Amino acid sequence: MPAISRKGQLMPESPIRKLVPYAEDAKLRGIDVIHLNIGQPDIKTPKQALDAVKNNTIEVLAYSRTEGSETYRKKLSDYYEKQQIQVTHNDILVTTGGSEALSFAMGSIADAQDEIIIPEPFYANYNGFATAMGIKVTPVLSRIENNFALPPIEEFEKLITNKTRAILICNPGNPTGYLYTKIEIQKLALLVKKYNLFLVADEVYREFTYDGKEHYSILQEKGLEEHAIVIDSVSKRYSMCGARIGCLVSKNKEVIKTALKFAQARLSPPTYAQIASEAALETPPEYFKEVIEEYVERRDLLITELNKIEGVIVGRPHGAFYCIAQLPIADADHFAQWLLEKYDLNGETVMVAPAAGFYATEGMGKNQIRIAYVLKKERLKKAVQILKEALKTYRAL
């Protein structure tokens, strides 16, 4: 049989999706599976985005421009200005989801065997994008004990080599929900300027910040213009995961010019999804006010209920809609599979994402899970109750 590529063999499985077959089997057995594993919001997509597609009179669904439609990019520029981010439409490249933006960014700034430093735990697909590009991920550990705050700059500095090309952060963070402070961003800015590196920030959860805290974009930091690359997306902001529209934003003209070449190889982003995304930019502020209030209530309920479980340690997120919980068990992968294969409470069980897949360091996160609080509060409360009872049964095995 012909051999599979080494790159293909090294591509990591998604810790979020690898348990899907077990969940499907549980559902076939009549078990109600409560999904805590995936960040698919249940918030309604803004009506104006859906109407823009429904009411469109396009007769030929043609290619769009490689860099995305000019009207959409100009409206994006206006959106960023409202966020105190000064960019023009020429600083923006529309992509097929934030995932493609990140792949283009990696391909534009790093060659095979080059290195990118990422605080762990991090969004698991960063590993996949890096592997596809032949790039080495160098992790720097953030800890649940201090709520996954930015590791000391000295820890980053120890890891910088002549192969290091960038530092990548997610702000607010997936899977931790940590929101980097302005001071932490400024520390990173000084570091990347000192070593002439790029600072890449995945800012797709920008709107979702809590407790009176505000998001500070790397594009707001003066003097970082040639170093800063932002990854963005409509997926979570407007509950439009299926649209697959993101963008890469940078004032570094060489980065945009290079990323455009990668974009030309895939022709163009989807037309209808751009139409919906452009209309979504007209979403009134009240939408986000209501959504944020809902997520705060869900977060508070989730954290309160998890803290009632003996032996559980949980980080408190100040952004996004995820948290990491450390469980009083040895192997969260085994526990997550057991929940789906062998456990139910009155015909119900839960599906969680084992956190080991969000770390690059072997052995880290083995007793942790990521929870996405994108469910109604009653469902969340029930899920934690099931988790509590399941832990009692599992630990007694």
Cα–Cα distance measured from residue 257 to residue 95, given in angstroms and rounded to the nearest whole number: 14
Q: Residue 197: what pLDDT? A: 98
List the single range of 10-14, 25-29, 90-94, 169-173 with lowest mean pLDDT.
Answer: 10-14
Q: Residue 17: what pLDDT? A: 75
Amino acid at 196: N
Q: Residue 14: what pLDDT? A: 79
What pLDDT, in 10s, does the model give residues 202-255?
A: 999 999 999 999 999 999 999 999 999 999 999 999 999 999 999 999 999 999
What pLDDT, in 10s, does the model give residues 134-191?
A: 999 999 999 999 999 999 999 999 999 999 999 999 999 999 999 999 999 999 999 9
Predicted confidence band of residue 39 (pLDDT cuts 50, 70, 90):
confident
Residue with tokens 């992509």: 95
Predicted confidence band of residue 40 (pLDDT cuts 50, 70, 90):
confident
Q: Report the pLDDT averaged over residues 57-86.
A: 96
CA 263 to the chain's CA centroid: 21
In the predicted structure, residue 371 carries a pLDDT above the cut 90:
yes
Q: Residue 18: what pLDDT? A: 81
Residue with tokens 């160098």: 138
Closest CA to 120 of 332, 296, 360, 295: 360
User: For the stretch 50-78, what's the b/e string if a residue is b when 16 or more beta carbons lie within 10 angstroms of its beta carbon?
Assistant: eebeeeeeeeeeeebebbbbeebbebbbe
CA distances from 395 to 13, 31, 85, 120 (A): 27, 22, 50, 28
CATH (residue range 47-280): 3.40.640.10
Domain borders along the chain are 6-44+286-395, 47-280
**pTM of the entire predicted model:** 0.95
Q: Residue 258: what pLDDT? A: 98
Q: Residue 256: what pLDDT? A: 98
CATH (residue range 6-44+286-395): 3.90.1150.10
Compare 168 and 13 and report the one with higher pLDDT: 168
What pLDDT, in 10s, does the model give residues 285-308?
A: 899 999 999 999 999 999 999 999
Cα–Cα distance measured from residue 337 to residue 306, given in angstroms and rounded to the nearest whole number: 20
Predicted confidence band of residue 41 (pLDDT cuts 50, 70, 90):
confident
Q: Residue 177: what pLDDT? A: 97
Q: Report the pLDDT averaged over residues 37-65.
A: 93
Q: Residue 278: what pLDDT? A: 97
- Look up residue 40 and give its DSSP letter: -
Q: Residue 200: what pLDDT? A: 98
Max Cα-Cα span within the chain: 64
Q: Residue 229: what pLDDT? A: 98
Percentage of residues of the chain with pLDDT beyond 70: 100
Mean residue pLDDT across the chain: 96
Cα–Cα distance measured from residue 24 to residue 106, given in angstroms and rounded to the nearest whole number: 35
Q: Report the pLDDT averaged over residues 73-77.
A: 98
Q: Residue 7: what pLDDT? A: 85
In the predicted structure, residue 16 carries a pLDDT above the cut 80:
no
